Structure 1
Amino acid sequence: MLLAAMLAGGPAGAQDLAWSNFDFSGYVSAETRIFPQKPKYAEQDSAIVSPSTALQPELRYRWNGRDDRITFVPFLRLDADDENRTHADIRELNWYHAGEDWDMVLGIGKVFWGVTESRHLVDIINQTDLVESPDEEEKLGQPMANVNLMRDWGTLSFFVLPGFRERTFPDDDARLRGAMPIASGDATYDSNAEQWHVDFAARYAHSFGNWDIGLAHFYGTSREPVLRPAVSDNGDMVLRPHYDIINQTSLDAQYTVDSWLFKLEAMTRSGQDDTFFAAVGGVEYTFFGVMESDADVGLLAEYLHDGRDDRTPETPFENDVFLGTRITLNDMESTELLAGVILDIDQEERIFSLEFERRLTDRMSLEIEGQIYDNVDEDDILGGFARDSYLEIRLSWFF
């Protein structure tokens, strides 16, 4: 319907729907999560191997000299053990138009802000699709009207965000759910409009010299819920998500010099009890052509600070250090490896992470991801994940 509406208002030539203007691609994947340990809680699924499959086609139609584009990216996952992970979403369904020194997006889209590796503090437009991965990298599609003004002195971006997406959470009996079940379908809101509250955001971005900077402000429903203890209809203790109205001002910056990358993400937020400040900053140094090969090896170090109190959404990253390495072979198979660990300075907890990717053929790739929760304090926010270390193997076919 959106495609028909956009083309009906476009130039006459656009209505011909020339097949050469269509692009169709996407992937289908088969995945397996392996949990080496038995679950911590009796009600959790005890399967050691948990398979799933995912499908994400991508359809694009371009016209008007490619200045106009319709994009449709649906997503579907079927999971053998987690009912909440069996879900569908529209990642993108929007109309993009490019003007001479401006462009716009109208519909459902995805926007990413951030530069650091261990945590993306400033990435707030899209809601986290937590059932996809506990690293909070996967996002749900967000309804939006976005206008970008490109000038010599930088780019100004304005967002109107009608319609809020609740965060997805694993099912009550699933692995990686945490210490208590989360009543994700019974959320409460700070705004009387609830999920229909209209949010707003603006961002200034510019690259000059060796610098890339972004300065943004967001007003609306927080993408991070406060999880409040409650009693379900069955009389069980659960955590009920509550979404506050917040103001968040953020800065992301990257400075590049020779083989060095200096990175910073910082933000201040009000509306969830006391105003607090959080930041992630660090450095990445890359050795190019190691041992006269085509391989590059990067060393990463970041410090994570978060000053929120106990009445705001909990985080395990209050005073932590991230150390990691990125290995890129630059071979025909595009082999890449990212491995690292987040160290809690106060409680000595550790989260080890691994991401590996290699193309097997022109249309197939292998990915291996995983996290290990080590030396976890039973009373800490990570206590519920103590036995949920996992390894995920994904085989994807692209079309």
Structure 2
Amino acid sequence: MISGVRIAAAGLCLAAGALPALAKEPNIETSLELGMELRVFPNDPALGPQRDRAVSPSFYLEPEITADWNGGVDRLTLVPYARVDRDDDSRTHVDLREANWLHIGDGYDLVIGADKVFWGVTESRHLVDIVNQSDGVEDVDLEDKLGQPMVQLAVPSDLGTFSFFVMPYFRERTFPDADARLSSGVRVDDDAQYDSDAEEFHPDLAVRWSQVIGDFDVGLSHFHGTSREPRLLALDPANPSNLTPYYDQIDQTGLDLQYTTDAWLWKLEAIGRGGHGDYFPAAVAGFEYTLFGIRGSDMDLGFLAEYQYDGRDEDGSAPGTLANNDTFVGTRLTFNDVDDTSILAGAVVDNEDGSTLLSLEAERRIGDAWKVEAVARFFLNADSENGLTALERDDFVSLTLIRYF
């Protein structure tokens, strides 16, 4: 809760401090997304402290308020977020996903305040996406992001778009309670430690160049600052399940590349990182091939495959990762109907021990105001030396009903 209040204050102060006087009355639009989620855990928990409840409900709301003025040249955006979870106190949290002022100038775009920025092209792992912190209590895929206070300047040109970021405040990753499902039975302290004496107020810097060159979409980036991945340290030998996050200072250079030809998308994300032990490379590479209009219908069927490599040291000088030598295969079915129905199924398999994460995601609109989403995660064949073994009894299926206002 404290983190949510801090981000709200930081984002609003940044945006308000840069906000010019309104030239005329703004055009204000509001919307609200309200969701009810039911998670079903078919197995008993593996660890004694975890709550043994087969059905776990939660509710969330996400309003959005935008105000445009000066002919759309200026925009103020506010997107708060809140979730209440019956069985995980850490998942009951608030955040400010966005609270920023956008100004479209003569040859530049300027954003000041809390915002969300996405970099990357691959499906199974987003290596280069480093600006925002992951909201680790939302889902194990770490796709949900916390709002990041920043000043962002984007300058488009014939040579590509150059984007510059200054991030004055760092967001710590969120973790489930030790007694909650999907927690691996560990307690992560709120009192994090930092490599920098400035702690969460260390100014992080990033720059990115992006360009479309023929059939290629190219992005080059560099980040200097506090790692979004913490090392989890057991500082109390008497209680090794109590872990303290430690955030190192790192430098990361990234490349994202996508080549489009007919029904093929060839994708690559690659990084080199220093600050976590020895300098190491990591990469995700693969393709997506789509069959359009299968059997004469409006549906498209896509086939995906990616290889994940990570060369970080395993001596504790870098955060642990499961994606060091893994293969992802999946399929995407898009119905192209008025209800935007889609299904994505995939599996990530460890090439060394066969440990497997199986995922299914589906969604469909119901009329103009409702939507249903289904997600399933299964942890299969988990080897005793693989990190998935801590989750092998936490298979779950979730169903979310969403109402738009």
TM-score relative to the length of structure 1 = 0.95
The answer to whether the aligner puts 1:216 opposite 2:235 as a matched pair is no
Decide which of 246, 262, 275 is 1:271's aligned counterpart. Answer: 275
State the Cα deviation string for residues 192-214 of structure 1 (Å, max 9, x = none): 01111110000000012101010
The answer to whether the aligner puts 1:391 opposite 2:402 as a matched pair is no
Aligned-residue sequence identity (percent) comes to 49
Distance 1:293 1:161, change over 3 A: same
Distance 1:389 1:319, change over 3 A: same
Decide which of 310, 313, 320 is 1:309's aligned counterpart. Answer: 313
Decide which of 190, 194, 218 is 1:189's aligned counterpart. Answer: 194
The answer to whether the aligner puts 1:205 opposite 2:210 as a matched pair is yes
The answer to whether the aligner puts 1:293 opposite 2:289 as a matched pair is no
Equivalent pair of 1:201/1:217 in contact (CA under 8 Å): yes
Equivalent pair of 1:230/1:237 in contact (CA under 8 Å): no
Q: What secondary structure is seen at the aligned counterpart in 1 of 2:118?
A: coil
Deviation at 1:36, TM superposition (A): 0.7
The aligned amino acid for 1:308 is R
Q: What secondary structure is seen at the aligned counterpart in 2 of 1:115?
A: coil
Structure 2 distance, partners of 1:230, 1:5, is 41
Gaps of 5+ in 1: none
Equivalent pair of 1:52/1:77 in contact (CA under 8 Å): yes
The answer to whether the aligner puts 1:342 opposite 2:345 as a matched pair is no
Which runs of at least 4 in structure 1 moved beyond 6 Å after TM superposition?
none
The aligned amino acid for 1:283 is F
State the Cα deviation string for residues 333-369 of structure 1 (Å, max 9, x = none): 1100000000111011110001100001111000001
Deviation at 1:96, TM superposition (A): 0.2
Structure 1 distance, partners of 2:145, 2:386, is 26
Name the residue aligned to 1:132. 138
Name the residue aligned to 1:117. 123
Q: What secondary structure is seen at the aligned counterpart in 2 of 1:65?
A: helix
Decide which of 9, 20, 29 is 2:35's aligned counterpart. Answer: 29
State the Cα deviation string for residues 251-276 of structure 1 (Å, max 9, x = none): 00000000000000000100011111
The answer to whether the aligner puts 1:87 opposite 2:86 as a matched pair is no
The aligned amino acid for 2:346 is G
Structure 2 distance, partners of 1:193, 1:4, is 24
Structure 2 distance, partners of 1:131, 1:75, is 13
Structure 2 distance, partners of 1:4, 1:180, is 40
State the Cα deviation string for residues 265-313 of structure 1 (Å, max 9, x = none): 0001000111111000000000000000000000000000011111210
Structure 2 distance, partners of 1:284, 1:380, is 28
Deviation at 1:25, TM superposition (A): 1.2
Name the residue aligned to 2:164. 158
Equivalent pair of 2:375/2:398 in contact (CA under 8 Å): yes
What are the equivalent positions in structure 2 for 1:317-332 lying under 5 Å apart?
317-332=323-338
The aligned amino acid for 1:304 is Q
Deviation at 1:375, TM superposition (A): 0.5
Distance 1:168 1:4, change over 3 A: closer
TM-score relative to the length of structure 2 = 0.94
What are the equivalent positions in structure 2 for 1:216-295 lying under 5 Å apart?
216-231=221-236, 237-295=241-299
The aligned amino acid for 1:83 is D
Q: What secondary structure is seen at the aligned counterpart in 2 of 1:382?
A: helix
Structure 2 distance, partners of 1:5, 1:122, is 30
Deviation at 1:379, TM superposition (A): 2.9
**How many equivalent pairs are there?**
391
Equivalent pair of 1:40/1:387 in contact (CA under 8 Å): yes
Gaps of 5+ in 2: 1-11
Structure 1 distance, partners of 2:97, 2:245, is 23
Structure 2 distance, partners of 1:34, 1:24, is 33
Structure 1 distance, partners of 2:29, 2:196, is 41
